[in-house]
Amino acid sequence: MGQPAAALPIEIGKQVQRIGFRLKLKSDRLNEYVKHHENVWPEMLEALSRTGWTNYSLFLDRNDASLFGYFETPDLEAALAGMAATEVNERWQAFMGEYFEELEGLRPDEGFKRLEQVFYLS
């Protein structure tokens, strides 16, 4: 395995984008989904870091199978495009797609509902 690529630099003075999103999981697949995220492929983690995804967290509400995600990035469009261009993301999205509802033919990274930020305390 080659050396890990450096993460995208955050320009001094540039606002970091805080991204919240929501997806709906299949209620009968929650345990499997959680298990896969205990062992995310190292090459997937490296690709996320390299393409500018930082402080990335996922939160699950088992009552209604809703998944809330949060990450920070210097440029959302660049982060999404960077991941879309990687082979590992293609494999991961295909693998994870079966765990979600309401994607309407989209991959999970294309079908998430971005949430409006209404408050921030630094």
Mean pLDDT, 10 residues at a time, the chain of 122 residues: 44 79 97 97 98 97 98 96 96 95 88 93 90
pLDDT at 105: 86
Cα(33)–Cα(47) distance, integer angstroms = 20
CATH of 17-114, one of 3.30.70.100, 3.40.50.300, 3.40.50.720, 3.30.1330.10: 3.30.70.100
pTM: 0.84
Pairing of strands 113-115, 17-25: antiparallel
pLDDT at 109: 87
Clarify whether 37 is annotated catalytic.
yes
Pairing of strands 100-101, 17-25: antiparallel
pLDDT at 3: 39
Q: Which of 37, 62, 91, 113 is catalytic?
A: 37
pLDDT at 35: 98
pLDDT at 88: 97
Tokens of 3: 């050396």
